[in-house]
Each structure stands twice: as structure tokens, then as C-alpha cells.
Homo-oligomer: A and B are copies of this chain.
Amino acid sequence: MNVSALLTSAGINIGVCALLLFLCSLLRKQPENVNVYFGRRLAQEHSRLRDSGPLDRLVPSASWLVKAWGTSEEELLGVAGLDAVVFVRMIVLSIRIFSIAAVVCLFGVLPANYFGQDTHHRKISSESLDVFTIGNVDPGSRWLWVHCLSLYIISCSACVLLYTEYRSIARMRLIHITRSPPSPSHFTVLVRAIPWSVEEPYDDAVKNFFLKYHASTYLSHQMIYRVGKVQKLMNGAEEVYNKIRLQATSIELTCRPSKYTCGLCGGKLESLQYQNDFELNAKKLELNLSDLRTKLKECASAFVFFKTRYAAVVASQVLQSSNPMSWVTDLAPEPHDIYWSNLWIPYRQLWFRRIATLMASIVIMFLFLIPVTFVQGLTQLDQLQQRLPFLKGILKKHFVNQIVTGYLPSVILLLFLYIVPPLMMLFSTLEGSVSHSGRKKSACYKVLYFNIWNVFFVNVLSGSIIKQLNVISSPKGIPTELAKAVPSQATFFITYVLTSGWASLSSEVMQLFSLIWNLIRRHILRRKDDLDSVPSFPYHTEIPRVLLFGLLGFTCAILAPLIIPFLLVYFFLGYVVYRNQVLNVYIPKYETGGNMWPMMHNTTIFSLVLAQIIALGVFGLKRSPVASGFTIPLVICTLLFNEYCRKRFHPVFQNFSAQDLIDMDEQDEKCGRMEEIHQQLHMAYCQFSPAETNDESCRDVGPIGIGGENKVDSKELEIELEHPTLPGLPISSLQQSVKSLDACNPTQ
């Protein structure tokens, strides 16, 4: 591939990107697409967007790009939560690192590569791209010092930037935890593997255990019922019968609407003013309820509520029983983050499921080699012509040739890569994660490993499967193998950034799938817009993508510095696009408090070390033992730096600190907010939608919601949508909480 082919490829991509952005600017002005491009704003802000005139609709504008660029971080934090901010920070970090790398490489490494051999240089446009890579430098050349120095500058600046970023995100996370309104998840512990005994049902076992061992802090609990899809159908008929019977029993009882208790969940919460009314009815209803409850399959899991945050954290971290496989405690996920379908999974299955899905992911990773190997073959046109001789005529044409070598491989690879994230998400679901965020995080890891292996390593170590397996099975040879392969594959990576990178951003901003689905729904199915279907940010596809481009950048930086300008364009475009998406399209359904950052940090360190190891191999191949020698301490220092960061910051992302929690508890106690929070805990973790169980009167107290959806229903979601910061708590209490928070913190 020569410079003009690269420029052709870049030209095509710029054209495609521009076209898509242009289209997007038009489409987003059409009123029927408003729920595709402004899903979050419609759902959260209820702002009927200003309807532009019919003429205005046909004029594309770039104002949305400017707006996305100009939004401040505080605004972003308020609108999209810490997770989105952390993701954008990752892109900003990449821009910073690669800006430094660009200066170093374009003014240091690129000339060194270009003039590395005393050859006659042709016209730039017909020059092969290889003369810009380290392959053009003579072995034993003094120029290699430039590469070594550049590697030092890039590594050191990356480490410094990573450290400040980790520190600042850790600080943001702490502020997020301490300053945000009280979250029910801080008071709740998910208990699993409750031991089974014939004498006492799970319900009593939980009560007795926590009343005995955590008497001073235990508040109440909430059993989890097994409501799988099969059971749902089986319970169908029974349920209707029970409903009728229950209504007949309770029709004579009058009672005030209860806001805080959900009958099915046991009403264990002593909810003050409703207590008296309740007791009367409760006794009469008891028989029926207990009848019903035994018919529902209680799982060996429960949510246990504690009086203070500190007590909940203590209960979640201390080993409860001398049998570590029973009474397993963890902090509960946020109410809307819970993945109810996985809560019934017996704890004993979990470790096995985890191992099984790990194995399955590894198998998928290796099976994927087959299409990738084929795709890789396309870049070697000679081979393709040999295999498919009828293509000879077409491939001889200059333009076709350039498209096939510069564009087609990436596109095919891209299409194959599209099926991976849903597959990995499925694996993560089967793995048994109890929260949506945990599921997404796990899928994120899987997709990341998959991408790094299948996009980077397989392409670099190209060739047959057997050869690849040989390479990974001899770790000592890896630096040399990589050093041989990476510079020669640099062209592929540049085109990969151009196609996969730029195109993915354009298609992200276009929202092609949503757009088509919206058209089908509107014109064929003729359904109304529903605001519930606004998606949350697909971290499990986007984080691995951004990190993969970071990896390509680090590994190619000093070997083939031409990649950096294209990468920088990608990151700048990504910065604008993702900010726009976060502001307008996606809705934050839950909040992990920046829990994804350690993964991003670790991957960046991995990329850095990989780049250093490849450089080590290259310096070895180029017979520059001194440069090799200088690279080894760099690798060790980078690893030590990572170890230090892990010690210094990582625990903050795993646990809450006693100091913070106790301070928060004290403040709530002082403001008298505690009672209020306690009353709302049950409601927040109600398995059956309160809209059904608690609908206008407590007549429907009973497992009526059993046949309903196995997750929060739309009414509850609406509450959350209006107040995304405190999912699950009713509006009035939230407003009160916020008010009293303000009263307590005059400094804020």
C-alpha cells in the first residue's frame, strides 16, 4: 500500500463520515425521529423540543456538534451521571496522551524512519507506506535512540496523566458517594445461600439469623421469589384463582392506601402511622397470604435492610458463617440495577457458571479466527488471485485494487465483530450476575479481551491457526515475533482506524438500527412512541472499542507513527459524538460510580507494556542492545507504577470506606432523615411492581404482580426517569431529602 492508496482510503472515509453527519443533521430535525435522537431529553426532561419550520428542517446545521463540544463537565455529570463522565474522561486522556505522542513521533520518529536508509526517495504520493515505519531504519543505526527516547517520553507522560486521572476520578467517585441523596442500595445487603432447614422456612431463618447476630442494626428483610418464565406460565391459572379468592376475602376490609409497604413483601417494616391500620387487616389476611407465599417458590436469597450504611457494609464484608458457602453477603445493587432473573440462581452454581462461561468465551475467541484469517488474506492480493483466478481481471484495475486492499478487509472484519457484543452479553447473563451493571461490566471485559486478541494479535501474527498457537505457546519468542509483525501490519491498522473507527462513530451518531426500527414501528406496526424503550449507554461495545484504538496507538506509535494523526481525528470525533449521545440519546438507568475506570486504567497499562515489549523486540532485531537494555527498566517501572496505583486507588472502587459512611450516617441522623429512608427501603427493593401490588388501595395486597413482568414496571420507571439520581424512592420523599440535605450542608 502506498501513500496514495492511503489517501484514497482516507478520502472515502472522510466522505462517508461527512455524508453520515450531514444526514444525521437532517434526520434529527425531523419530528418523527425525535425519539431516536433525543430519547434521553424526551424521557428525562420532558422538554417538547422546539419544532422547527418545514424549511429549516431541510437545512443541515452543525450547531449540535458545537453544543456537544461546549457542554461543561458539571452539566454532563448532572445529566448523564459519573459513568458517562468517566467514559468521556477516557477519551480526553487518550487525546492528551496521543497529542504528546503526535508531537514526539511526527517531529522525531517519522523523519528518523523516513531518512533511516540512504535510498533515493520517490515522490511522496507514490512512496510506499513502509518507508515511514521503523522497517526503513538500518540495523544498528544511531537513529534508534530517537525511538527509545520517544518511547520514554510517551510512557512517562502516559503514566503521569494516568495517575492524575485515576486520582481525580477516585475523588469524583468519593464525592459522588458522599454528596448524592441517600441511596437505598447503601442500606441493603443481598444475602444468598441461606441454609435450608425443614423446621424453619427461609423467611424465618433470615429473620432469626440477623436478629441474633446483627440485632442492633438489623431493620427488616425482603425475600426473593423465584419467578422464571416457565413458572410464570404455571402460576398463571392458580394466580387468577387466588386473586378472586383474595378479593372476596378482603372486600369487607377497609384500609387506607399504604404508600410505603408492599403487601407481598411481607410488610415487615414497622411503618409508623400505618402500623395500626395495618395490624387489624394483616391478621385477617395472614392466612391467605401465608398460604400464597408457600406456593411461591422462595429462593435461598433475600435483601436485608440495615439501619445505617456502615452496618450494611460491615455485614456485606465480614464472613457471616463458618461455612463460607452459606449466608453469603454482598452489598445490594441499586434497585433499578438489579437483574431479577438471575437472583434465584443458587449460590453453589455460580462458580461453576463463571468457569463455564469463561471456557465458552475462550472457545468463541478461537473459533472467530476462521473469518479473520480469511479477511486477512484479502490484504495479500496475490494470494487471493491465486485462489480465485476469475477475480484476476477485476483486481488488476487500479481503483478496485486500492479499495480491496485498503477498505474491504476492515469492513468484513467489522461486520463479523458486530455479533460479538450481544453474544458476550448473553454469556454474562448466563454467568449469573445479579445486576445490569455487573452484567455489562463482565461483557465489557469479554469483548475487550476478544477485541484485543482477534483484532490485534491475530492480525499481527497472521497466518494459519496452528502458527498462531505456536506463537502464543512460546512466550519468550513473542517480543521478536511481534517486532517482526507489527510494523508490517501497521498499514492494516491505519486503515482499520479509518474504517472501523471513523465509521463506527458515524454509525453511532446516526443510530441506524434505532432509525430503521423507529420507521418500522411508526409506519408498519403503527405503534405510539414509548419512552421506556430509551436505551442505556452501550458501555460494553464502546469502552472496548476506545481501548482497542488506544492499544493500536501505543503499539504503533514509534513503529509506524503515521497512525497517530488518524487516531487523533478518531478521538476528537469520538469526544464530540459520545458527548452528544450521552446528552441526547441514552438514558442512565443506573449508576456504578465510575466503576469502569480501573478496567480502562489496567488496559492502558497493558497497552503501554505491550508497546514497550514490542519495542524491546524491535531494538533486538535492529541490533541495538543498548536501546533494548534501556527499555527493560521502563517495562519494570511501568509495572511497578501500575502496582502502586492498584494499591493506592483500587480499593476505593471496590469498597466504601468506614469514615465516609459513618459521616453520612451521622449527618442523616442529625437531620432526622433516617426514619424516612428506612421507610422507603422496602418499596425500593420490591420484586413485584408496586403499581400492581399497591394500586390505589391495599385491597390488592397479595401476589398479584406475580404474573406481571419480572422487573420494575413502567410506572415506577417514570418516577425514576423524572429523578434519575434517586431511583426507587417516591418523588415527595426525594424532594424532602434534597431539601434537608441542603439544610444540613449550608456550604454546598
Q: Are A648 and B325 in contact (CB under 8 A)?
A: yes
Asked whether any CB of chain B lies closer than 8 Å to the CB of A319, the reply is yes
Distance (Å) between the CB of A325 and the closest chain B CB? 5
Known: A324-B649, A474-B473, A649-B324. A318 touches B643 (CB 8 A): no
Q: Which of A351, A355, A648, A658 gathers most chain B CB within 10 Å?
A: A658
A317–B313 Cα distance when bound, in Å, is 10
Q: Are B657 and A319 in contact (CB under 8 A)?
A: yes
A320–B473 Cα distance when bound, in Å, is 44
Chain A residues 343 to 402 lying within 8 A of chain B, measured CB to CB, are 351-352, 355
Asked whether any CB of chain B lies closer than 8 Å to the CB of A662, the reply is yes
Asked whether any CB of chain B lies closer than 8 Å to the CB of A314, the reply is yes
- Tell me the nearest residue of chain B to A213, going by C-beta: B662
Q: Which residues of B contact A213 (CB under 8 A)?
A: 658-659, 662
- Tell me the nearest residue of chain B to A643, going by C-beta: B351
Q: Are A320 and B657 in contact (CB under 8 A)?
A: yes
Q: Which residues of B contact A321 (CB under 8 A)?
A: 657-659
Distance (Å) between the CB of A218 and the closest chain B CB? 12
Chain A residues 601 to 659 lying within 8 A of chain B, measured CB to CB, are 640, 643-644, 647-652, 655-659
Asked whether any CB of chain B lies closer than 8 Å to the CB of A523, the reply is no
Q: Are B355 and A655 in contact (CB under 8 A)?
A: no
Distance (Å) between the CB of A112 and the closest chain B CB? 32
Known: A318-B313, A658-B213, A658-B319. A647 touches B324 (CB 8 A): yes
Q: Are B324 and A318 in contact (CB under 8 A)?
A: no
Asked whether any CB of chain B lies closer than 8 Å to the CB of A475, the reply is yes
A693–B713 Cα distance when bound, in Å, is 70
A327–B647 Cα distance when bound, in Å, is 13
Q: Are B643 and A319 in contact (CB under 8 A)?
A: no
How many copies of the polypeptide does the oligomer hold? 2
A528–B657 Cα distance when bound, in Å, is 55
Asked whether any CB of chain B lies closer than 8 Å to the CB of A201, the reply is no
Asked whether any CB of chain B lies closer than 8 Å to the CB of A174, the reply is yes
Asked whether any CB of chain B lies closer than 8 Å to the CB of A692, the reply is no
A603–B323 Cα distance when bound, in Å, is 23
Chain A residues 458 to 478 lying within 8 A of chain B, measured CB to CB, are 469-470, 473-477
A728–B347 Cα distance when bound, in Å, is 42
Asked whether any CB of chain B lies closer than 8 Å to the CB of A533, the reply is no
Q: Which residues of B contact A476 (CB under 8 A)?
A: 469-470, 473-474
Q: Are A322 and B174 in contact (CB under 8 A)?
A: yes
Q: Which residues of B contact A647 (CB under 8 A)?
A: 324-325, 351
Distance (Å) between the CB of A160 and the closest chain B CB? 19
A473–B474 Cα distance when bound, in Å, is 5
Q: Which residues of B contact A716 (CB under 8 A)?
A: none
Q: Are B651 and A319 in contact (CB under 8 A)?
A: yes
Q: Which residues of B contact A327 (CB under 8 A)?
A: 659
A324–B660 Cα distance when bound, in Å, is 12
Q: Are A651 and B355 in contact (CB under 8 A)?
A: no
Distance (Å) between the CB of A358 and the closest chain B CB? 11
A470–B475 Cα distance when bound, in Å, is 10
Q: Which residues of B contact A352 (CB under 8 A)?
A: 640
Known: A355-B643, A647-B351. A652 touches B473 (CB 8 A): no
Q: Which residues of B contact A323 (CB under 8 A)?
A: 648
Q: Which residues of B contact A315 (CB under 8 A)?
A: 658
- Tell me the nearest residue of chain B to A655, going by C-beta: B319
- Tell me the nearest residue of chain B to A476, going by C-beta: B473
Q: Are B325 and A657 in contact (CB under 8 A)?
A: no
Q: Which residues of B contact A474 (CB under 8 A)?
A: 473-476
Q: Which residues of B contact A314 (CB under 8 A)?
A: 314, 318
A475–B652 Cα distance when bound, in Å, is 37
Q: Which residues of B contact A656 (CB under 8 A)?
A: 319
Q: Which residues of B contact A473 (CB under 8 A)?
A: 474-477
- Tell me the nearest residue of chain B to A662, going by C-beta: B213
Distance (Å) between the CB of A641 and the closest chain B CB? 12
Distance (Å) between the CB of A99 and the closest chain B CB? 31
Q: Which residues of B contact A659 (CB under 8 A)?
A: 213, 320-322, 327
Q: Which residues of B contact A660 (CB under 8 A)?
A: 322
Q: Which residues of B contact A650 (CB under 8 A)?
A: 324
A648–B323 Cα distance when bound, in Å, is 7
Known: A174-B322, A324-B651. A355 touches B640 (CB 8 A): yes
Q: Are A320 and B658 in contact (CB under 8 A)?
A: yes
Q: Which of A213, A315, A650, A659 gathers most chain B CB within 10 Å?
A: A659
A640–B359 Cα distance when bound, in Å, is 12
A313–B319 Cα distance when bound, in Å, is 10
Chain A residues 466 to 497 lying within 8 A of chain B, measured CB to CB, are 469-470, 473-477
A652–B655 Cα distance when bound, in Å, is 21
Q: Which of A315, A317, A323, A640 gathers most chain B CB within 10 Å?
A: A323
- Tell me the nearest residue of chain B to A478, going by C-beta: B473
Chain A residues 143 to 185 lying within 8 A of chain B, measured CB to CB, are 174
Point out residues on A near B: beta carbons under 8 Å. Answer: 174, 212-213, 313-315, 317-325, 327, 351-352, 355, 469-470, 473-477, 640, 643-644, 647-652, 655-660, 662
Q: Can you give 8 A-B contacts (C-beta < 8 A)?
A: A213-B658, A213-B662, A314-B314, A314-B318, A318-B655, A321-B659, A323-B648, A470-B476
Q: Known pairs A319-B657, A474-B475; list 20 more (Cβ under 8 Å).
A: A174-B322, A213-B658, A213-B659, A313-B318, A314-B318, A317-B318, A319-B652, A319-B655, A319-B658, A320-B659, A321-B657, A323-B648, A324-B648, A324-B651, A324-B652, A325-B648, A351-B643, A351-B644, A352-B640, A473-B476
> Nearest 7 CB-CB pairs, A to B?
A473-B476, A324-B651, A474-B474, A319-B655, A322-B657, A319-B657, A318-B658
